[in-house]
Amino acid sequence: MENVKKTCSTNQYFESETKEKKITEDSLVFAFIGNKLLLVDESIPLYNRVQELDIGYIKYIGKTNEISCFVLDINQEEESFPLGALVGVRQLYALLPEAQLRAAIYGFQLILWNRKTKFCGQCGSTTTENLAEVLVKSCPKCKAEYYPKISPSVIVAVIKDDKILLAQHKRITNGMYTVLAGFVNPGESLEECIHREIKEEAGIEVCNIRYFGSQPWPFPDSLMIGFIADFDKGEIKPDNEEITDLKWFKADEIPEWPDKVSIARSLIDSFIENNSQ
């Protein structure tokens, strides 16, 4: 099963596209009920399976293997839903091939954007979505514009010789240690955010910051931007607010790892790969 999924993910891709397009019976639909996605027979359904439902919002999001994909917001209580299985977005990482996962994550963020911007935050008028080619809603009265919100967050592997700094977070209770992370403040560069977060959470200073990679993380609207940094000076000391413990680990000493799908795990895996005998 694992191999089948891998084959799928290398052959398929999801290409997001913003334009006017009419849904047809054989369009692929990413239908959300509350914060859960509808799977029918363990797969993303075609429109003909859901068209009788009460659809509150519908938007074309792009194509996967030339099949048109739409995102739908269904007006129905989860508890009384008559069809298929409703799956939380977090669980989709283990269930969907990569192309469909990307489409689901993108669609989910558009659903949240639509729900949160029905009214203008400035004057309270009902907003409108007039441009099929641009992801923007606007207020007909005061002209305010609302784009989908993305919250950038840095995630950093701090390295000291052959050791990596990992932290135990207050909100994670399974004993897992992971890399440090934090949201970027308005007016702050990514590098400034890294220096501030590491100082606040671990009490140390870092240098030699280099880019690692990034990952959209739809819980609800983060973009995780991964970096590696070298320890510069100071003594590690957990802030005791978000971080309850901090340790330097050698590659073969790391106890409990974050989930495979996360960029946190990729950062730790990369450290292990570079520091194993």
Gap between the Cα atoms of 182 and 166, Å rounded? 14
Q: Where would I find the H helices in the chain? A: 2-11, 89-95, 98-116, 190-202, 263-275
Query: What secondary structure does DSSP assign to 147-188, as a single string?
Result: PPP-EEEEEEEEEETTEEEEEEETT--S---B-EEEEPPTT-
Tokens matching residue 206: 């870092």
> Which of the ranges 107-115, 120-128, 214-222, 251-259 carries the binding residues for Zn ion, by CB under 5 A?
120-128
Does position 96 interact with Zn ion (CB under 5 A)? The reply is: no
Binding residue for Zn ion (CB under 5 A) from 123, 131, 132, 134? 123
> Which of the ranges 5-13, 131-139, 167-175, 230-238 carries the binding residues for Zn ion, by CB under 5 A?
131-139
Q: Please give the radius of gyration of the chain, using alpha carbons only, rounded to the nearest integer.
A: 22
Binding residue for Zn ion (CB under 5 A) from 23, 112, 120, 225? 120
Interface positions, 218-247, toward Zn ion (CB under 5 A): none
Does position 127 interact with Zn ion (CB under 5 A)? The reply is: no
Neighbour count for residue 10 (Cβ, 10 Å): 10
Q: Which is nearer to Zn ion, 85 or 142 (CB)?
A: 142
Q: Which is nearer to Zn ion, 24 or 126 (CB)?
A: 126
Binding residue for Zn ion (CB under 5 A) from 39, 139, 166, 246? 139
Tokens matching residue 10: 């290398």
Q: Which is nearer to Zn ion, 127 or 168 (CB)?
A: 127
Q: Which is nearer to Zn ion, 114 or 266 (CB)?
A: 114
The nearest distance, CB 121 to Zn ion, in angstroms, is: 8
Binding residue for Zn ion (CB under 5 A) from 142, 150, 237, 276? 142
Tokens matching residue 160: 């000291």
Does position 144 interact with Zn ion (CB under 5 A)? The reply is: yes
Tokens matching residue 7: 């084959």
From 166, 170, 174, 277, select the one nearest 231 (Cα to Cα).
Answer: 166
Does position 122 interact with Zn ion (CB under 5 A)? The reply is: yes
| Placement of tokens 């280099």 in the chain | 210
Dihedral angle sign, alpha carbons of residues 212, 13, 9, 38: positive
The nearest distance, CB 127 to Zn ion, in angstroms, is: 8
DSSP one-letter code for 22: -
Q: Which is nearer to Zn ion, 121 or 213 (CB)?
A: 121
Does position 118 interact with Zn ion (CB under 5 A)? The reply is: no
> Which of the ranges 91-99, 100-108, 117-125, 180-188 carries the binding residues for Zn ion, by CB under 5 A?
117-125
DSSP one-letter code for 257: P
Which positions lie near Zn ion, rule CB under 5 A?
120, 122-123, 125, 139, 141-142, 144
